[in-house]
Amino acid sequence: MVSGPDEIMTIDELAVYLKISKSTLYKLAQEGGLPGQKVGKRWRFHKGAIDDWLRQHPGRSRQRFGVIAEGTMKIEDER
Segment 8-28, tens digit of pLDDT: 999 999 999 999 999 999 999
Which pLDDT score, from 0 to 100, does residue 70 have?
A: 38
The Cα 72–Cα 7 span in angstroms is 25
CA quadruple 49, 51, 52, 53: dihedral sign:
positive
The residues spanned by each domain of the chain are 8-75
SS3 label, residue 5: coil
Find the mean pLDDT for residues 35-58. 92
- Taking CA atoms, 41 is separated from 11, 28, 29, 37, 44, in Å, by 12, 16, 13, 10, 10
pTM greater than the 0.75 cutoff: no
In this prediction, residue 66 carries a pLDDT of 43
pLDDT value at residue 49: 93
Q: How far apart are CA 28 and CA 44, in angstroms?
A: 13
pLDDT at residue 44 greater than cutoff 70: yes
